[in-house]
Structure 1
């Protein structure tokens, strides 16, 4: 199981985030939240991604 929380300073970058997600993840996409924020902690940052997962929790058929 993987969960993503993505913070953008410009919501118009969501297409770039979607492209990156499709390059990293295959099959079912992880549960995620995308939020636009006015600023991140470091000057110049435009995206922050928080990822949480459980080792050994791979989907099994």
Structure 2
């Protein structure tokens, strides 16, 4: 049985300009969330001055996308986190604890030289298996 690819849109997360990428795609019970940053609604302003504040903005965007796909945050099974300052990774973990409980997702953390704007300190992508958690 072929499962169709469905574009997921959340009113809480700005959609990219047409024909660039999708913020979230769902295929069957899997939702793929593109790398999220802490850019604001104007796509210029970066929300949060440090890794903790930016991570909270990003995790909220991921939560909004997963919920728009029909899931809950604990349905996230895999994340890839890109940071520009690996020595501040504990601030990302601190924010993560505010959004997950129980079994935390499998995760990869990678330091990169830079992201889309110099003030963007991290970007996170996620995969969720919708319905896999109790809550």
TM-score computed with the length of structure 2 as normaliser = 0.41
Deviation per CA, 1:9-59: give whole Å up to 9, x if none. Answer: 000111101101111111111100000000012332110010110211226
- Unaligned 5+ segments in structure 2 are 1-74
User: What's the counterpart of residue 35 of structure 2?
Assistant: none
Give the distance between the partners of 1:27 and 1:21, measured in 2 at CA: 12
Give the distance between the partners of 1:10 and 1:43, measured in 2 at CA: 12
Q: Name the larger-Rg structure.
A: 2
Structure 1 segments, 4+ long, off by >4 Å, are none
RMSD: 1.4
User: Which of 1 and 2 has higher RCO (CA within 8 Å, sep 6+)?
Assistant: 1
- Unaligned 5+ segments in structure 1 are none
How many residues align? The count is: 59
User: What's the counterpart of residue 42 of structure 1?
Assistant: 117
1:14 corresponds to which of 78, 89, 92: 89
The structure with the greater share of residues assigned to strand is: 1
Give the distance between the partners of 1:42 and 1:51, measured in 2 at CA: 21
User: What's the counterpart of residue 23 of structure 1?
Assistant: 98
